[in-house]
Amino acid sequence: MKPNLHYRPDPGFSRLYIFGAGGHGREVAWLVEQYWAGQVEPVFLVDQHAYLSPPVNGVVVQLVDDVAVREDDRFVVALGDPAARRRAAVQCMRVGLRPATLVHPRAEMSARVELGQGSVVCAGSIVTTNVAIGTHVHVNLACTISHDVRIGDYATLSPGVHVSGHVEIGENVFIGTGANIINGRAGAPLVIGKGAVIAAGACVTKSVEAGSLMAGVPAVRKR
């Protein structure tokens, strides 16, 4: 199988700051260690003294305000909550860090995928064609994104999310594990409004208003 064009064997940076030392942060560090061992040094970042700890899985934990930025340093934010990820990205850029874009080599993506800075696409995910993914988006493990999909900045697709064709996902949307988004049509996409939350396992069959909470099969509005 031809490797996806978005994975770079030479990452172009030598240190990656990973904001968040929790579960997703450890997964991002694993990606770095597995595929760029010896090329990239991972460092966890936190924003409060209370979150400082001894090294996690051998990776140093540091305060974001203590970073001494080098030209070839980059960062990603490994927080699942879109609003928290936005705040953390602002903190990292405020100290002079620039975002990296990470694509696992076992993700499948066509050349007709646009991928914004700071976004992460995890192992086992498939992104087909004519897809635009914004900045600081998380596409977690084993997601599928079909044709003609637009995903706004800071959106989260949890593990096992499936998005059919002709769908627009707004900024700060959170889609829970195993949710399914049914397709729209050319010229009439299914739209998930800004800041909406789709519960784990939900099946979304029609457009969703901004800020709403949808759950169930088929999904109905809960908030």
Q: Is 191 left (phi over 0), alpha (psi -120 to 50) or beta?
A: beta
Whole-number Å distance between alpha carbons of 195 and 176: 13
Alpha carbon of 172 to those of 57, 153, 157, 160, 180: distances in Å?
Answer: 30, 7, 11, 18, 18
Buried b (16+ CB within 10 A) or exposed e, 116-128: bebbbbbbbbbbb
Phi, psi of 87 (to 5 degrees): -60, -40
Residue closest to 140 by CA, chosen among 111, 171, 178? 178
Nearest to 142 by CA among 124, 118, 166: 124
Q: Which of 49, 104, 136, 147 is catalytic?
A: 147
In the residue annotation, 147 being an active-site residue is answered as yes
- Whether the ω angle into residue 218 lies within 30 degrees of 0, i.e. cis, is yes
CB count within 10 Å of CB 3 equals 13
- Catalytic residue positions, numbered: 147
